[in-house]
Chain A
Amino acid sequence: MAHARPIATTRSATGIPTPRLAVWWILASEVVIFGGLLGAYLMHRIGHPEWAEAASHTQTWIGAVNTFVLLTSSFTAVLAHQAAEKGKGKEAAKLLAFTILGALTFLMIKSYEWTIEIMAGYTITANTFWSFYYTAAGLHALHVIAGAIIMGFIAVDAYRGRELHRVEIIGIYWHFVDVVWIFLFPLLYIAK
């Protein structure tokens, strides 16, 4: 019997290919995870004027450099998607590699920043502001790490011209990680 293997990507009641629908589902749950955390932070921040002192010790310029790094990596991710759509696997892989480089740069800057802060005594238990600071930025950094690892696998496939549709899927996820940082930056670094 020559049954074709059922391929999930071609069956979709929503009109959205299944992998992309799946990533939207993931993001819908991420909205609640990050939104709940940032919402709780914002409410506490407004209720606790004394946090302004603690918040004044975050280093705006480091946060700003990292914002630039993530925005740029989002740009290379969307260019990778564009290349994949044109069937240019090698170019997509190259652009994904740049995006991974952005992720690694982001993480190195973050480690440098945290090292300075922890050495200065601003640890996760110093007070509630710093607890939120490390929890929110840490959860975000975990997403950066996960995204970079997945992108690595997809880039290897894309280089061989395989599974090019995945480039778009990881791109959507990556832009979301960028969007979270777009909100984290003013919340943790600018509002003093």
Chain B
Amino acid sequence: MSENNEQRDEQGHDDGHHVNYFKIYVILLILFAISVVGPEVGELTGLRWITLITAFGIAFVKARLVVNNFMHLAWERRIAKWLLASSLILLLLFVAGVAPDVMNHEGNNWENVAAKQAVERGLAAASGYSEEEAESEGPVEEVIAAGFSAQNSFGQICATCHGVGGEGDGIAGAALDPAPASFIDPVFWQGRDRDRVITVIRDGAAAVGGSALMAPWGALYTDDQLEQMADYVMSFRPNQ
């Protein structure tokens, strides 16, 4: 480094530091190994603090080693440290400012309904259903994946046109011609039985000569679920 000494000094480096880069590298690798093994130990023993310290505590130690010895911030002029520190302070200010709203889902006079629902949906999907189903997107698949219930599925899919109460008054049904069937109408049930309801849900009304506006939904349900759906629809039928 001798021939460069004068130039280096001009550039604001004192030449007094000699870092053994290889040593730093080896220490980093050892810390890295601990940060991989540590959380495994934490999981096996059920001691969460081991995971937190080995995963996140060590990340800070590693970052410090890199910043000081590889980036040479330890020997840099103080203004560079202040520059980075002011960025960090602004960042912490931002995090501290929004943390109460993001990390809590309710407080005095407010409630984050959407976030709470997301937690519930996610936990329900995570328990006991296969990954693909739990991770699939869209409300329709979610209902199926999150534990099948004919009532929920009716509410999610059929009610859009047929209405929650099966009266044919769903929001999307208002503009349809012919109007969606009302399941509480005794006339509707004349000549219709359970098998026919199953067929219509599975293959669409067009399959039995009805309106093509009643789409086939067979792809969404297993045979067993189709029967449950039909039973639920039948439950609207008025007693005769």
Contact = CB atoms under 8 A, between A and B. Distances in A.
Contact of B94 (A17, A36, A72, A186): A36
A166 interface: no
A53 B122 contact: yes
B196 to A, nearest CB: 36
What is the interface residue range for chain B against chain A? Answer: 35 or more
B1 A85 contact: yes
Interface in B19-68: 21-22, 25, 28-29, 32, 35-36, 39, 43, 51, 55-56, 59, 62-63, 66-67
Interface in A145-192: 165, 171-172, 175-176, 178-179, 182-183, 185-186, 190-192
Contact of B79 (A14, A74, A78): A14
B66 A191 contact: no
B77 A186 contact: no
A78 B68 CA distance: 12
Given A53-B122, A175-B71, A182-B59, A60 B36 contact: yes
Interface centre among B88, B104, B131, B135 (most CB of A within 10 A): B135
Interface centre among A29, A50, A67, A127 (most CB of B within 10 A): A50
B63 A182 contact: yes
Interface residues of B, dominant DSSP: helix
Contact of A24 (B29, B62, B80, B102): B80
Interface residues of A, number: 67
A31 B67 contact: no
Given A75-B21, A175-B66, A175-B67, A191 B55 contact: yes
B86 interface: yes
B99 interface: yes
Contacts of B105: 47
Interface stretch (B3-11, B154-162, B203-211): B3-11
Given A126-B135, A175-B66, A175-B70, A32 B87 contact: yes
29 contacts: A14-B77, A16-B77, A16-B79, A28-B87, A39-B94, A43-B95, A43-B102, A47-B103, A47-B115, A48-B119, A49-B119, A50-B123, A50-B125, A53-B125, A54-B135, A75-B22, A78-B21, A82-B21, A85-B4, A87-B3, A121-B135, A122-B135, A126-B136, A172-B72, A175-B66, A176-B71, A186-B55, A190-B55, A191-B56
Given A48-B115, A85-B8, 5 more contacts: A52-B126, A85-B4, A126-B135, A127-B122, A127-B137
Interface of B: 1, 3-4, 8, 10-12, 21-22, 25, 28-29, 32, 35-36, 39, 43, 51, 55-56, 59, 62-63, 66-67, 69-72, 76-77, 79-80, 83-84, 86-88, 90-91, 94-95, 98-99, 102-105, 115, 118-119, 121-123, 125-126, 131-132, 134-137
